[in-house]
Amino acid sequence: MSGPVAGPVDPLADRVDPRPVVASRRLFTGRVWDVVEESFDLGEAGRLTREIVVHPGAVAVLALDADDRVLLIQQYRHPVGAFEWELPAGLLDVAGEPPHLTAARELAEETDHAARSWRTLLDYVSSPGGSTEALRIFLARELTLVPEAERHVRTGEELGMPLRWAPLEELRAAVLADAVHNPSLVIGVLAALAARDRGWADLRPADAPWPSNPRLAG
């Protein structure tokens, strides 16, 4: 049994407080992300050096219809050799495009759907020990189909990409049965179930600040 806590208890929240970088050099420039080596000052703990994947960040969309079904895509992911069921998603790789507009564009391009209602469901960082990748999952509701003449022509890895509607309860069972593994899908489904239990009352606006994204925090 834990003992009493002395003094005030801080809120349970991450503290965004970057330590001073004393040296930095680029090791690799890639198609999507780069790798840099940085030395930073931890004060009493001294200086540490780490290799970091510098990632542009990404968004994902949990599109939910009136029957609480989620719109999924299935995409081949070569690093893990699997056709994963995922939420529509995309990189923040268009300069100056706000994240919620990136999300709307990706939803239309990958699924031929638009949404009238947008809220921020959740923010997370994928691998904080080695990457700057920050992701925001949006909740999109009041869905409509994009007119056929305005639909995006999918090519490459998106060509012939299957779509599927799945109830939130079926997805929860798939997550707990270790049947689906995409992190945005897993995190988004569990967050949506929790938010639904609270009547969706705690969700932030689609353009809410994003302090955990290093590229947007400033």
CATH number of the 58-205 domain: 3.90.79.10
Give the model confidence (pLDDT) of 125-180 as tens digits.
Answer: 999 999 999 999 999 999 999 998 888 888 887 788 899 999 999 999 999 999 99
94 Cβ contact list (under 8 Å, min separation 6)? 102
Ranges of residues in the chain with a pLDDT under 70 are: 1-8, 217-218
Both tokens of 78, joined, read 């070569």
Q: What Cα–Cα distance (Å) separates residue 27 from each residue in 24, 50, 93, 134, 176?
A: 10, 12, 21, 21, 39
Question: Residue 96, SS3?
Answer: coil
Q: Which string of DSSP letters, residue by residue, matches 35-71?
A: EEEEEEE-GGG-EEEEEEEE---EEEEEEB-TTSEEE
The token pair that represents 117 in the structure block: 């209602």
* List 37, 38, 84, 158, catalytic entry: 158
| The three-state (H, E, C) secondary structure of 158-204, written as one string | HCCCCEEEEEHHHHHHHHHCCCCCCHHHHHHHHHHHHHHHCCCCCCE
**Can you give the pLDDT at residue 5?**
57
- Which neighbouring-strand residues pair with 118? 140
- Give the domain ranges of the chain: 21-54, 58-205
**pLDDT number for residue 35:** 97
Residue type, 28: F
The yes-or-no answer on residue 158 being catalytic is yes
Q: How distant, in Å, are the alpha carbons of 17, 29, 145 from that of 86?
A: 32, 27, 19
Question: Two tokens at 112?
Answer: 């031929």
Residue 63 has a pLDDT of 98
Q: What pLDDT was estimated at residue 215?
A: 75
Measured CA to CA, the distance from residue 11 to residue 57 in angstroms comes to: 27
**pTM beyond 0.75:** yes
